[in-house]
């Protein structure tokens, strides 16, 4: 197995044993980026080769002289282009922020630097994280490494594709309604949405502030645990950041959960679920039974309403958050002369893509006078019921499991003219964000045509450690996570 196919943990071991240097690792991934990017379009902003080499040399020097090293020393980490990076463009894959250069780093980027990670480019995404396919980027369409004619998922499609395609060993994405777990499933890798408040949102350009969460992509659960350890924790600059100790996720990973009870919701195995996806998920559940787990029937009765509630709450918050992009303070400003209102309108019309405009209009409508109670307030009540469903379920089980997505990756352009069909890609993932609980997607098989299938694990608030241990049980008994596409 070549360097680029190794996990981050394996790369750390190679460095510690003197079998590979940070510079050699960096050069391997720079070469992989150059060779594969034209096929995948994973990145919004290419890795700065000079900066990557400088970081790698500094880490090798620290190792040589015996200085303490961070837990990600010499590991390239790609970062979704919705996270602020000091001195480097951060566009959210939108024309309206085409030339925006933040004067500060996002909290998670600060954490990566503190742990000696090598920052490795900014990944492509759906504009302002609004989408499920990465077809809504204003610049390029990312492609699935298992079949470049298909989507990698979204909105963090670039972050998923670059890991699956071995352009980086790990990456960061964000998850508002499934934007980490869904692309992880479609690209055959591990992706985690932590509990809301577990990872600081400082420096994350907001889509829907009560739903957004930063999380890791990796080839396996060990790397996922490693990256989560690095970025999790309290940050006083984020008022929603929870001040709880961060467990040593990597230290307990090999401890199976004894007496494991898995909740299987009937609502996740109904109409619209692809037959091969259902079979793979059911086989994964049988594998857990072989490992000693007990399957428990649970119900999430309000989950059929979660998608509708999400597409009211999220656009409403987006309408408010994106009001700041007015062509006056920063970002794109129209060259067309006119009065204040005309400048606002023209700047936003030129800067925002169709999907972003659609969600702003929808969000503004559901918040408007006469409609707020009928739509927005009602959606918040449904959100509370969704959360109660999970609370009730976790009294009977340790984890809720089911397929991450209803279908494997579809072809690029297949659903472009039908936004509602695209929204259904998130049917199993949005309830997790509404409830604020942690969710994890792990590979659990392939279709007959070689497309990855993901298994979703949902846990009680702040039980990321248990989720990772449960996922690692399955990973230890299977080899899906070791597969790599031929790009």
83 contacts: CB under 8 Å, gap ≥ 6 = 90, 106, 108, 109, 172, 174, 203, 204, 205, 214
Residues in the chain: 487
Q: Are strands 214-218 and 170-174 parallel, antiparallel or unpaired?
A: antiparallel
HSE-CB at 414 with a 13 A cutoff on CA atoms is 14
Determine whether 94 is an active site residue: no
Determine whether 113 is an active site residue: no
The DSSP-derived string for 51-65 is: HHHHHHHHHHHHHHH
Burial classification of residue 243, based on how many CB atoms lie within 10 Å of its CB (0-12 exposed, 13-18 middle, 19 or more buried): exposed
The helix or strand, by DSSP H or E, that contains position 466, with its residue range, turns out to be helix 464-477
What is the spatial order of strands in the sheet that 452-458 belongs to?
43-45, 118-123, 76-80, 170-174, 214-218, 190-193, 439-446, 452-458, 399-403, 261-265, 294-298
Distance of CA 249 to the CA centre of its chain: 19
Catalytic residue, from 6, 9, 80, 137: name it: 80
Catalytic residue, from 155, 159, 241, 303: name it: 155
Determine whether 155 is an active site residue: yes
Angle at 7 (CA atoms; ends 76, 254), nearest 5 degrees: 130
In the block, tokens 């620290």 appear at 62
Catalytic residue, from 93, 137, 142, 179: name it: 179
Residue 30 CA to residue 28 CA, distance in Å, equals: 6
The DSSP-derived string for 341-381 is: HHHHHHHHHHHS-HHHHHHHHHHHHHHSTTTIIIIIIHHHH
Confirm if 177 and 211 have CB atoms less than 8 A apart: yes
Q: What does each C-alpha distance from 22 to 110, 163, 178, 292 come to in angstroms?
A: 20, 18, 33, 41
* Radius of gyration over every alpha carbon of the chain, rounded to an integer in angstroms: 21
128 contacts: CB under 8 Å, gap ≥ 6 = 82, 92, 93, 94, 205, 207, 318, 322, 356
Residue 412 CA to residue 425 CA, distance in Å, equals: 14
In the block, tokens 């929808």 appear at 362
Active site residues: 80, 155, 179
């Amino acid at each position: 197995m070549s360097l680029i196919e190794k996990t981050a943990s394996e790369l750390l071991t190679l460095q510690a044993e003197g079998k590979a240097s940070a510079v050699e690792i960096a050069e391997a991934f720079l070469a992989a980026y150059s060779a594969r990017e034209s096929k995948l379009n994973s990145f919004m902003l290419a890795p700065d080769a000079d900066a990557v080499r400088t970081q790698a040399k500094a880490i090798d020097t620290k190792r040589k002289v015996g200085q303490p090293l961070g837990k990600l020393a010499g590991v390239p980490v790609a970062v979704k282009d919705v996270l602020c990076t000091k001195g480097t463009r951060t566009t959210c894959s939108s024309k309206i922020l085409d030339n925006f250069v933040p004067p500060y780093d996002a909290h998670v980027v600060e954490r990566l630097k503190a742990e000696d990670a090598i920052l490795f480019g900014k990944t492509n995404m759906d504009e302002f994280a609004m989408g499920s396919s990465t077809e809504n980027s204003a610049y390029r369409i990312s492609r699935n490494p298992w079949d470049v004619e298909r989507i990698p998922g979204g909105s963090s499609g670039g972050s998923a594709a670059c890991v699956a395609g071995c352009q980086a060993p790990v990456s960061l994405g964000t998850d508002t309604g499934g934007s980490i777990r869904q692309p992880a499933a479609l690209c055959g890798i591990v992706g985690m949405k932590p509990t809301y408040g577990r990872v600081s949102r400082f420096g994350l350009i907001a889509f829907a502030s009560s739903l957004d969460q930063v999380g890791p992509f990796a080839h396996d659960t060990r790397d996922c645990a490693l990256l989560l350890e690095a970025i999790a924790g309290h940050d006083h600059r984020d008022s929603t950041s929870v001040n709880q100790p961060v467990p040593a996720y990597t230290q307990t990973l090999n401890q199976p959960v004894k007496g494991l009870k898995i909740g299987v919701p009937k609502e996740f195995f109904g109409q619209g679920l692809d037959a091969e996806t259902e079979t793979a998920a059911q086989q994964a559940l049988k594998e857990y039974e072989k490992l000693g787990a007990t399957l428990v029937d649970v119900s999430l009765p309000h989950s059929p309403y979660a998608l509708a509630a999400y597409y009211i709450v999220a656009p409403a918050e987006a309408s408010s958050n994106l009001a700041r992009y007015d062509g006056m303070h920063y970002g794109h400003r129209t060259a067309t002369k006119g009065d204040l209102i005309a400048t606002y309108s023209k700047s936003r019309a030129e800067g925002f893509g169709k999907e972003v405009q659609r969600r702003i209009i929808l969000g503004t409508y559901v918040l408007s006078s006469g409609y707020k109670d009928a739509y927005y307030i009602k959606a918040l009540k449904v959100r509370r019921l969704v959360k109660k469903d999970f609370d009730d379920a976790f009294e009977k089980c340790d984890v809720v499991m089911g397929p991450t997505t209803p279908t494997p990756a579809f072809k690029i352009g297949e659903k472009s003219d039908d936004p509602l069909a695209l929204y259904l890609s998130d049917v199993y993932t949005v309830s997790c964000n509404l409830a604020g609980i942690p969710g994890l997607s792990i590979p659990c098989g392939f279709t007959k045509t070689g497309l990855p299938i993901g298994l979703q694990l949902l846990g009680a608030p702040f039980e990321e450690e248990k989720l990772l241990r449960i996922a690692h049980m399955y990973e230890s008994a299977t080899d899906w996570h070791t597969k790599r596409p031929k790009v």
